[in-house]
Structure 1
Amino acid sequence: MSTASDTTARVHDATPDNWVYRHLPRPVWPYAQLARWDRPIGWELLMWPCLWSSALAANYLAGENALPVWTFVAHLILFFIGSVAMRGAGCTYNDLVDEEIDGSVARTRSRPLPSGRVTRRQAKLFILGQALVGAVVLFCFNGFSILLGLSSLVIVAVYPFAKRFTDWPQFFLGLAFSWGGLMGWAALTGSLSLAAVLMYGAAIVWTIGYDTIYAHQDREDDALVGVRSTARLFADDTKIWLSGFYVAMGLLLFVSFLLAGAGFPAYLGLIAALVLLGYQIKVLDINNPLQCHALFKLNGKVGLILFLGLVCAIPFA
């Protein structure tokens, strides 16, 4: 049975029965909440472009009879670890920047910083620890990938402030969250190509789409505190904008697959993913926060489907 103390130690926008509350000691809860370990969809969405890009490069290298299979597998594991660590560091940094705003929004005022369960100094030390894990992962890759990964930190640093100066903070999130679309290819090939750049662009428009759906949960609160978003900008035209983003995503991925010589299963995965995205647009009710959250989370399956299609297309020897 949950006590009143247990209830105040939880955040309102995470499921009450998630693994953090069931398996981690209570003193760890605030840090798990800062890193969003109680909501794995975030690191999944950060990870999928990394894995897409790595699998796309594997398709290309297999066609050239130059695929290092075990290196590819190791990279998938490294991207998983890095995604969890860097998503956690990014969320903690975002919470530091947005502490006052979070305290004014019903969905976020129970988070560790605005609720006072973690100090700013503790949060900063936690960022450092997670960033060190991310750095260890990054330095497992080649030199070009290390420089490419480090260059993304500029975008990561700017993103939390974007909602204050533009109606398109989701675009800045896309720039940051989609960087893996470049990293996976670079880590296996040591360079970039048009195929990887197009995949990066596809991941950006995908991110704008799913985060617009997510932002509709807070549209009214955001208007009260002056936070800007594509959800507020698009309003009742959201479905039209989403259709454009997802069509663009499909076209960019299609050309990317062609350029990399991806096999037939990759295109089947793309079709299945687009069907799932089309379903989101069809049923979306921007005035239903619970449904918006559920549809946002459905994008984890979109990412998985695209990855499985690309992996199945690799002609392993």
Structure 2
Amino acid sequence: MQFLQKVRDFRELVMFEHSIFSMPFIFIAMITATQGWFGFKLLLFGVIASISARNFAMAFNRFVDRKFDGTNPRTKGRPSVDGRISPKAMLLFIVVNALIFIAMAYAINPLCFYLSFPILIILASYSLMKRFSSAAHLVLGLSLGLAPIAGVVAVSGEIPLWSVYLCIGVSFWVAGFDLLYALQDIEHDKKEGLYSVPSVFGVQKTLWISRIFHTLTLIFWALFVKEANFGLWMWIGFVVAVAALCFEQYLVSKHFRNIPRAFFTINGYLGIAFLGFCIVDLIDK
């Protein structure tokens, strides 16, 4: 029972269920690169690499942000703050997941291995960036935006133009909804001197910056669909993405209590839906 409780604590630490944000775009890239099924081996390695990279990033964030999380009413109940997980245990967890990610990259191909080190640096830099610059939201976006790049490199060993468009789109998508999520902590960030966009620019400007980011998301996703020569089904998926992001912006602008629904539910389903339309499009060819 104690072991199971510790597993639940670590799952809460890294918010494991949120892996759903980046994982669909890894597989979109892999499916697009191979124009079909890429094999069970790469599926297994891709899943393990994605989970270990995200575990590393989230645990590192929780470790270095313990001080700030302890003064924030929204986060003071996290396992990293209330003593359920010790700093030493977090450090061990961070190192183990970094090694797993590097090992998976090595097992896939040399380019993945070489890229694994700068990717880990980027994943870790988000947690430190917000102490110095409000560009932290874009760094977080890039952290997830690298997922499709990693996916296409895993199956083809190269970085085609369409994967760059997909990467940029995902980066702006994540940065856009992270801006909305950060609205919950605007007063805390001001008090602690953290450079989130809401604490620096205020609520209304943050809402508009988020809308601009999501507009850029849709532009680059449209370029991805066109460059990768998808058909009708993927364009329908694009229209679904437009509707989802518009609805997300509407919910948050209506009332901030809708932020969790907009952040978790809509964005989670969006990635899965985009992957689904990608699969159907390739089957229909």
For 1:34, the equivalent position in structure 2 comes to 13
The yes-or-no answer on 1:48 pairing with 2:24 is yes
Residue 189 of structure 2 is matched in structure 1 by 222
Partner-residue secondary structure (3-state), 2:153: helix
Structure number, greater radius of gyration: 1
Identity across the alignment (%): 22
Contact 2:49 2:100 in 1 (8 A): yes
Q: Do 2:38 and 2:155's aligned partners in 1 also have CA atoms closer than 8 Å?
A: no
CA distance in 2, matches of 1:249, 1:112: 34
- Alignment of structure 1 residues 1-317 onto 2, 5 Å: 25-37=4-16, 40-41=17-18, 43-58=19-34, 62=35, 69-71=37-39, 74-232=41-199, 233-285=201-253, 288=256, 290-297=257-264, 298-315=266-283
Q: Contact between 1:195 and 1:260, CA under 8 Å: does it hold in 2?
A: yes
SS at match of 1:161: helix
Give the aligned CA root-mean-square deviation in angstroms.
2.3
Could you say if the C-alpha distance between residues 153 and 164 of structure 1 is closer, same or farther in structure 2, counting changes exceeding 3 Å?
A: same
> Residue 164 of structure 1 aligns to a residue in which SS?
coil
Task: Judge which range, 97-106 or 108-117, deviates more.
Answer: 108-117
Match in the other structure for 1:14: none
Aligned amino acid, residue 214 of structure 1: Y
Give the TM-score normalised by the residue count of structure 1.
0.82
Greater helix content: 2
8 Å Cα contact 1:54/1:76 also seen in 2: no
Instruction: Tell me if structure 2 keeps the 8 A contact 1:44–1:83.
Output: no
Aligned pairs, number: 283
**1:112 to partner: Cα distance:** 2.0
* CA distance in structure 2 between the partners assigned to 1:244 and 1:104 by the alignment: 31
Q: Deviations over 1:180-239 (max 9, x none)?
A: 121111112211111111111111100111111111121121121112212333511333
